[in-house]
Structure 1
């Protein structure tokens, strides 16, 4: 009966969040109404929601999302080619749990980890 999961992450600035996800990562707005203090974006069937939290201290934000992909190498290279900073401790590598992963931090310190299962 469950059909999808859409994480909700905090954002201090809707314009900064849109600039990062839409202009830099290639997501699109979704939804038919532009709500004040709320943002919904999507890319290739992945949907993420953001709620405004102007007082958020990024150093105290532990928002995290794990996004699976079927082309981890291509995605990683496309981000490098577009000068998207990779998390300093999140370079592309094979993990002991059988995933190839890398991570990004958005402007509010939300951690985006991308992973692909190894055959």
Structure 2
């Protein structure tokens, strides 16, 4: 299902609140998450306020597999994936160890 900005099912503010919730649960500041994810403090602040969008997954622990356009990429802690949300992609855990990622995937805001 595709949800576009402006559709009743898209709530940028709710997405931003969830990003803030996860970040705070991990005890991270905006600057810390931004540095780890390769994003600016300002960009993340805008996402948390529901003013901007991005597609970004950052690995905190474990080794997930990111499949992008049918190609698998093994990721490790500190690595990230940043792509257009319209590109076919998925993240999975093929191992028995726990994987923890911060993943933000939102439609492009107009």
Work out which structure has the larger RCO, using CA pairs closer than 8 Å and 6 or more positions apart in sequence.
Answer: 2
Would you tell me which structure has more helix in proportion to its own residues?
A: 2
TM-score (norm 2): 0.33
Would you tell me which structure has more strand in proportion to its own residues?
A: 1
TM-score (norm 1): 0.31
